[in-house]
Amino acid sequence: MIETFILYNAILLLSVLFAYYAEHSKTRRSRILARYSLFMVLFVPSVLRYDIGTDYASYVDSFNFSSEYKQTEIVFYALILFLRNLQLPAHSLFVCSAFITYFPLLFLQRKNYTWKILMYVLLCYLLSYSAIRNMISLSLVILAFDLFFRGKRWGAFIIYPLSVLFHASSFVFLPFFFVNRMHCNRIILLLISSFLLCICYTDMFFVLLNNDLFLNSYYGGYMFSVYGVEPSYNTGYGAFSKILFAAIVFLSVLFSKTKDNAVIYFSLFYFISLVLMTKVSIFLRLADAAAITLVFALPLCLSVWREKKIIALKYLMVLFYVVLFEMFIYANNRGLKEGNVGVSPYQTIFCE
> For the segment 242-289, what is each residue's pLDDT rounded down to a tens digit?
888 888 888 888 888 788 889 999 999 998 888 888 777 777 878 888
Q: Where are the alpha helices (DSSP H) in the chain?
A: 2-24, 28-48, 56-64, 74-85, 91-102, 113-120, 132-149, 153-166, 174-178, 186-200, 204-209, 212-215, 237-254, 261-277, 283-290, 293-307, 312-331
Confidence at 325, pLDDT banded by 50, 70, 90:
very high
CA nearest to 113, candidates 76, 89, 142: 142
Q: Is 153 exposed, middle or buried (0-12, 13-18, 19+ CB in 10 A)?
A: exposed
Q: Where is pLDDT greater, at 173 or 61?
A: 173
Q: How far apart are CA 229 and CA 225, in angstroms?
A: 8
pLDDT of residue 275: 84
Count the alpha carbons within 13 Å of 77 in the hemisphere toward its beta carbon. 12
Neighbour count for residue 211 (Cβ, 10 Å): 11
Output the pLDDT for position 92. Answer: 92
Flag whether pLDDT at 214 surpasses 70. Answer: no
Report whether pLDDT(40) > 70: yes
Q: Is the pLDDT of residue 337 over 70?
A: no
Residue 342 in this model has a pLDDT that exceeds 60: yes
* HSE-CB of 175 using CA atoms within 13 angstroms: 7
The answer to pTM > 0.85 is yes
